[in-house]
Amino acid sequence: MVLSWQIVRFQLKETFAIAYGNYTHREALIITLEKNRMKGYGECTAIDYYHISLDDFEVVLAKIKTQIENQNIIYPSEFYTFMLKLELPSFLRSALDCAYWDLFGKLEKKSFVELNNIDLNTLPESSITISVDTVENQIKKIQQSLWSKFKVKCNHFNENDIAELLQLDATLALDSNGSFTKENCIWLENHEAISKFAYLEQPMKNGSENYEVLNANKFANWMADEDCQDSTVLKDLQQHYSSINIKLVKCGGLTPALEMISVAKELNYKIMIGCMTESTIGISAGAVLAPFCDYADLDGANLIANDIAKGSEILNGKIHLSENHGLGIKIN
């Protein structure tokens, strides 16, 4: 097995504005694992508010390259057990795990769906992100869009803006990226109209000192993002959050995400498969888990202007899974 990588700069179609800042581009580390002329691909993005440095990842990859390449082709869960011993950051571990699943499926001539006996009868629609803006501009974008589900970003609490959004005849979610206060959240969860939002994602900065004021049994469908990094926290969050956002880079890849989904279902969480602003490489990896989920937020590749891959597609919210082997990813 041969390991290689490259850093790619993705230009966004428009400025991506969230509570953490405004972004015009994203840089991504693209991992390639090759065996017998078959190539598997994985991706992780540089996210400043997660303190992710792709340059640091390149240094790590150079150190572990020989160890990776000396591995025999084994089942992906066994490969993941090997990777855990390397003590890699979750973003990098995710890119390697996804690349390995893609390669393994191509070598076995089976798709991820076939390898995991996934039932495709229920696929949620994906939302598309509406960046931070005036509520008037946000409403205009929603009304002009061909998508039917929307995740509206905000960077502060505004009762009037929320009231205007709730008047729309559309499926909306609210994502404040941790910009609300405890007082804001108490107000929200005690107002019945708020139940019209599909979910309210990561309302406050992560940490139990904040989320302990959230009540999962009131009107707001609170969804944990940064508060939910892996399956070990799910029981602690249960009284406070009804839903969780699983992102592959956050939990460490497809292998731990499968475990996380299993535990979350046992605890009666609603589950969303989410993404960063990723190319079709990252989106194709996340999309294969959509059949397990109640919500999907897989619009990342739709936000970039210079995608480098083909695979599963999200067209106006509809998820079209690739039927090709592995994760179905091909580099253009």
Element (DSSP H or E) covering residue 312: none
Rounded Cα gap, residues 276 and 260, in angstroms: 18
Rounded Cα gap, residues 291 and 306, in angstroms: 28
The CB density around residue 231, as the number of other CB atoms within 10 Å, is 19
Place of tokens 């076995």: 108
Strands 21-35 and 38-45: antiparallel
pLDDT digit string (tens) for 27-71? 999 999 999 999 999 999 988 777 889 999 999 999 999 999 999
* pLDDT at residue 25 in the model: 87
* pLDDT at residue 46 in the model: 87
Two domains, one topology: 2-109 and 115-331: no
The domain 2-109 is classified under which CATH number: 3.30.930.10, 1.20.1250.20, 3.60.15.10, 3.30.390.10?
Answer: 3.30.390.10
Rounded Cα gap, residues 1 and 34, in angstroms: 5
Helix pair angle (90-108, 54-69), 10° resolution: 40
Contact 229, 90 (CB under 8 A): yes
Closest listed residue to residue 185, CA positions, set 153, 151, 150, 223: 223
Q: Which fold has domain 115-331?
A: TIM Barrel (3.20.20)
Residue ranges for the chain with pLDDT beneath 50:
none
Coil, helix or strand at residue 9: strand
What does the block give as tokens for 248? 């592959």
* pLDDT at residue 177 in the model: 92
Domain ranges in the chain are: 2-109, 115-331
